[in-house]
Amino acid sequence: MRRHPARSAVVAALLLIVVALIWWGGAGSKGGGAPAAQAVPVVVDTARQGRFVVWQSQPGTVVPGNSVVVRSQVDGTLTRVAFQGGQAVKKGDLLAEVDPRPFQAQLQLASGDLARSQAQLAHAEEVLGHYRTLQEQDSISRQRVEEQQSLVSQYAAEVKAGQGRVDSARLQLSATRITSPIEGTVGLRRVDPGNLVGPADVGGITVVTQSQPSKVVFSMPVGVAAQVLKRLHEGACIPVEAWGDGIADRLDSGRLQAANNQVDPDTGTVRFEAGFANAGGGLLPNRFVTARLPVQVLDNAVMVPVAAVQQGADGPFVYVVKGDGKVAVAPVKPGPDDGTTRVIDEGVAAGARVVIEGADRLRAGTVVEAKAAVPVATGEVPVCHPDETSPSATGHP
C-alpha cells in the first residue's frame, strides 16, 4: 500500500520531539534533581501571658447634669430678654424681666391694708390697757374688758394676714426679674419681648443646662449587666469611657454611678448611668456616644493578635512556627477580644510563635521565612477614682 509522504513527515517530527524531551529530562536528573521548595515569607508574633480586660461597648446618650426650663412665675408681659443663646450664666444672673407695674400696685395696696390693721391694733391695745386699769378700780364690767380683748385679737390676726399679703405681693414683684436657677449654659430664647408669659407656658422662655458634670445613659444586655451589677453593688469603682464617631475620638473618661432596678422587657437590657466631669465640653446634651467599660478582668490569660486566629473546616486554629522553620496547625479555643488582641483559652501556650501575616499560603509542614512583627503598644485602662467624677490618671481598674 502506498503511504502519503506528508503524513510520514509529521509522524517523524513528533517522534523527534518525544526523544528530545526524554533526553532533556534525563540530562536534568543527572544534574542533581529538582530544585528545593522555597520558604514562604510570613510575619509572626509571640503569644504572651498577662492581664486582659474584657471591655463592653454600648451606644449611649449624653444627659446634662442638670437641666431647667426657665418660666415666668407670674403672669405678665415680657419686657426684656437679657441673654444670648449659648451664653454661660451663673446662678442668680438676670435672664429676663416681666412688666412689674401691676405687682408694684398690688404691693402698695397690701402695704396700705397692713398699715390700717396695725393702726387699729395699736388703738385697740391702748383701749384694752385703759379698761384693765378701770377694772382694777372696779369701775368697769368684766364683760367690757373681755370684748376689748377679743377686738385686740381680731386686729392682731388682721395684721398677720396683711403682712402675709404684703410678703406675697413683694414675692410676686421680685418674680418679675427672672434669674438663672443654676449655673450653666443658656439656650436659645423661645419667646420675644411683648408676649404674655406665665407659669403655664409649656416651652418656657429658655432652657439652662449644666453640662459640667454630665452623664451618659446607656443599656447593656442582662447577661453582661449581671457581672457589672455585682461589682457595682460590692462598691467597686468602675471606669467608663465616652467615645465619639472615630476610633481615635475619645471624648472623656468617668465612672459608673447608678443602674436601674429592673430589666426592660422589650429589649432585655438594663439601663446604666455614668458620670463625667466634661472639662473639655465635648459631651453636649443629647449627643450620641459609645460608652465603653470593663466588665471582666482575666488574670494570666494567653493572648495573640486577632489576625493569628484562622477559621477552618474543623474550627478555629493558628499556625505555629516550630524550631525547624516549619509550621504546624494548632486547633484553639478562642476567648474574648478587644479588636486587636484575642484571648486563647486552649490550644496555644505562652511563648509560641504564631503567624499573623501570610497564612493564606500555608499548609501543615510548610517551610517559612519568619519575620517578627512590629510591637504594638497596648491600650491603657483608666483608673477609677471614687472621690472624683472623672479620673485623669491611667492604669488598671
Task: Read off the pLDDT of residues 273-316 as tens digits, 9 standing for 90 and up.
Answer: 999 999 888 898 999 999 999 888 888 899 999 999 999 888 99
Strands 333-337 and 288-305 come out as unpaired
Architecture of the CATH domain 101-174 = Orthogonal Bundle (1.10)
Cα separation values, 369 from 35, 46, 243, 320, 357, Å: 17, 15, 40, 13, 12
> Between 299 and 80, where is the model more confident?
80
Of 186, 255, 183, the residue nearest 216 (C-alpha): 255
Confidence grade of residue 318 (pLDDT, cut at 50, 70, 90): very high
- Rounded Cα distance between 354 and 252, Å, is 36
Q: Mean pLDDT across the chain, nearest whole number?
A: 86
- Rounded Cα distance between 250 and 239, Å, is 14
Confidence grade of residue 338 (pLDDT, cut at 50, 70, 90): confident
Of 238, 182, 190, the residue nearest 211 (C-alpha): 182
| 357 CB neighbour count, 10 Å cutoff | 15
Q: What is the pLDDT of residues 98-127, one digit of tens each?
A: 999 999 999 999 999 999 999 999 999 999
From-to residues of CATH 2.40.30.170 in the chain: 56-64+210-297
pLDDT of 158 reads 95
From-to residues of CATH 1.10.287.470 in the chain: 101-174
pLDDT above 60: residue 4: no
**CB neighbours of 209 closer than 8 A, spacing ≥ 6?**
64, 66, 67, 68, 184, 185, 187, 285
Q: What is the pLDDT of residues 239-274, one digit of tens each?
A: 999 999 877 788 999 999 999 999 999 999 999 999
From-to residues of CATH 2.40.50.100 in the chain: 72-98+177-204
Q: What is the pLDDT of residues 180-206, one digit of tens each?
A: 999 999 999 999 999 999 999 999 999
- Rounded Cα distance between 359 and 370, Å, is 12
From-to residues of CATH 2.40.420.20 in the chain: 41-52+299-372
- Rounded Cα distance between 131 and 108, Å, is 35
Q: Which residue has the cell 504572651?
A: 48
Confidence grade of residue 379 (pLDDT, cut at 50, 70, 90): low
Mean pLDDT to the nearest integer, 46-75: 92
Q: Which residue has the cell 492604669?
A: 395
What is the percent of the chain where pLDDT is above 90?
A: 58
**CB neighbours of 268 closer than 8 A, spacing ≥ 6?**
221, 222
pLDDT of 397 reads 47
pLDDT of 7 reads 58
Q: Which CATH fold topology does 41-52+299-372 show?
A: 2.40.420
| Terminal C-alpha separation, the chain | 101
Q: Which CATH number fits domain 56-64+210-297: 2.40.30.170, 3.20.20.70, 3.40.50.150, 3.30.1490.20?
A: 2.40.30.170
Of 186, 7, 223, the residue nearest 89 (C-alpha): 186
Q: Could you give the count of Cα atoms lying within 13 Å of 180 in the half-sphere of its Cβ?
A: 25
- Rounded Cα distance between 155 and 161, Å, is 10
Q: Which CATH class is domain 72-98+177-204?
A: mainly beta
Q: Which residue has the cell 396683711?
A: 162
pLDDT of 33 reads 40
pLDDT of 395 reads 40
Q: Which three cell numbers stand for residue 364?
A: 501543615
pLDDT of 377 reads 57
Mean pLDDT to the nearest integer, 27-54: 71
